[in-house]
Amino acid sequence: MRGRVCPLCGSTLILEDGLLVCSSCGYIVDADLLPDTFNENHFTNVGRSRSLEIIVSRLGLPNEVYDLAKDIVSSYELASGERVTPSILMAAVIIASRIYGTPVPIKEAILRVSARTSPSRVALAIGKLESVLPRREGVPWEGYINYLIGKMSRDERFMDRLKIVSGKLSPYLVLERLRIRAIKELRDIRKKKRADLIGRNPVYIAAAVIYMTSKRIGIRGISQGLLADVLGTSRSTISKALGVVR
């Protein structure tokens, strides 16, 4: 058992019901496939899939993110001929979360998963993965609208405010109307201001579009301050993004 550590978080492996299990994150390792000296460059296909499941689960991401992350890792292995590392697995999940409009910041992901890696190593891994993936046309902007609307619907204070101003309408129907109109607004903005959006944070741009759209269609109660609180950012950030999209 000496020298055998979890490939995901680096914690000690323990024997439980005939299986080697990580004492920290619960990763299950096939003991027959472990080399005498276990290091982060050794992963079995089963271990890789299990690691991705753990990461996605701990970050509260949908199953679609897991499926895409698994495809990303497979593409990387095929193109590079290299074995995956914990940083590569984390990077694959982060890339998949961005594509599906549920982005997770690198530092937050590492903290919530308790992964034994660093933001710089994950950032480098993201670059490696993106270099072998098919090029995508721009940023999945509409996904960020969906992501933010979903986050708003799960914020109790926000929904309480929306219930007050929605009258007889369901606040969820109001949010759905806002989502549809915000996506339409964003499409128009991208056509007219594509150059202005280059390099901008898509989360804040989407937030600004949602705020602007809420005013245009007469939804009261969504202030810049409240929206900033839901996103965990500052009001000035929303204001700057508004200056770009208006």
Regarding whether 240 and 146 lie in a shared domain, the answer is yes
pTM passes above 0.95: no
**Number of compact structural domains in the chain:** 2
Indicate the DSSP class of residue 83.
P
The answer to whether the beta carbons of residues 7 and 29 sit under 8 Å apart is yes
Regarding whether 181 and 111 lie in a shared domain, the answer is no
Q: Which two tokens stand for residue 166?
A: 């929605």
Domain presence at residue 155? yes
Which residue among 132, 165, 194 closes a domain?
132
Domain that holds residue 52: 40-132
In order of 77, 135, 182, the CA distances from 131 in angstroms are 12, 9, 32
Regarding whether 208 and 127 lie in a shared domain, the answer is no
Q: Which two tokens stand for residue 49?
A: 């899939």
Domain of residue 199, CATH code: 1.10.472
The answer to whether the beta carbons of residues 145 and 182 sit under 8 Å apart is yes
Q: One digit per residue, pLDDT tens: the chain, 246 residues?
A: 344 666 666 677 776 655 666 666 666 665 444 444 444 434 444 467 778 888 888 888 877 788 888 888 888 888 887 777 888 889 999 988 877 767 888 888 888 887 667 888 888 888 888 777 765 544 566 777 877 888 888 888 888 888 888 888 888 888 888 988 998 898 888 888 877 877 777 888 888 999 999 999 888 878 889 888 887 778 888 899 899 888
Question: How far apart (Å, rounded) are the C-alpha atoms in residues 42 and 61?
Answer: 26
Regarding whether 99 and 54 lie in a shared domain, the answer is yes
Domain presence at residue 18? no
Which residues does 235 contact at the CB level (< 8 Å), separation at least 6?
224, 225, 228
